Amino acid sequence: MVEKRLILIRAPGALVIMQRRIRTINRRTPALAAAIVLAVAAVIPRPSVAGETIVSVMESVVSLLPEWPGAESRPKEPEGTAVAVMPGGYLATNDHILGGAKKVKIRLNDGRIRAAEIIGRDALTDIALIKASIDFPVPPIGGNLGLGESVCAIGNQFGMGLSITCGVASALHRTGTGFNEIEDFIQTDAVINPGGSGGALIDGQGRLVGLVSAIFTKDSDANIGVNFAASLKLVLRVVNDLKDHGRVIRGKPGFGVRELTERERATLFGAAIDRVARGGAAIEAGLEVGDVITAIGGRKVRRVSDVPSAVHMARPGNSLDITYIRGGQSHRASLVLRP
């Protein structure tokens, strides 16, 4: 599991304390105790995915067992997870799980172990594609996930075998977390721990919406409720190229960007163009140094890290709609990515 450390103040015993207080109140005022229990229950997230749907999706998820060369070992995360993303035994997982492994095996939910082949890896997005010797059902593909919608994560947490945890979509299109150079994360509070990387993130209808990828942790290396899954759109963009080419084919926009200054942010949002390639796609589209990009392909740009995320969803030859500010006025341009 890729992890990032930060300092947070927590109260692990809060729920226990609340339970004890409820019991005390219950002895004195039963009606008030019942009202408090109902109020607490109303705000605690509960899975909205039917049990039979979860069981069905779990047939598409496996535990991942990398075989590292020599003395390489990772006791914190000796195993991972993978999920079927296309027919023919193709499974998506995280590149960081594989580490230096040249070979990999998978463990089915019933305990059987099968060999698998590493098809391709992309370090920029931390996404990898493997192929198993048997086929798996591909989960239904989810649509646009809404903020606050119920989601569930299926993964091999701590190498104990597949389990499911549920929460909500806390944020969408999260970038700039520092995990990967190119990010398009769904943030969730569904409990995720080491070993869960490469697992499936599903919506309330049991449809695949993301690939569990990273967690923020404290010194315990365990879940604190700030977890990330690569969006399915990014996953499919990467794995399709890995299957067809063994690597990801990316287009060149012909410009670079910088963060806005504090003064600029008083009236603007986005990322400012600070360089353009001579004869490149940006010049052809009419973009100039100083233009402030506010949207790419219909997706808002709030920071520099949003730019590569939006650009790399497209392929060379694809046209991207660019919205930008120049001289205080909003403009639009069509930029065709170069090979």
Active-site residue set? 96, 126, 197
Q: Letter for the amino acid at 252?
A: K
Q: Letter for the amino acid at 318?
A: N
Other Cβ atoms within 10 Å of 232 Cβ, number: 24
How far is residue 6 CA from its own chain's centroid?
Answer: 19
208-217/2-5 β-pairing: parallel
Q: Where are the beta strands (DSSP E) in the chain?
A: 2-5, 61-67, 80-86, 90-94, 103-107, 113-122, 127-132, 150-155, 163-174, 185-188, 200-203, 208-217, 223-231, 255-259, 271-276, 292-296, 299-300, 319-326, 329-336
Cα(55)–Cα(139) distance, integer angstroms: 11
Is the CB of residue 54 less than 8 Å from the CB of residue 177?
no
Place of tokens 């410009």: 255
Query: 178, exposed or middle or buried, with CB in 10 Å at 0-12, 13-18, 19+?
Result: exposed
CA distances (Å), origin 200, targets 52, 84, 105, 177: 16, 9, 18, 20
Cα(179)–Cα(125) distance, integer angstroms: 9
> And the tokens for 282?
């940006």
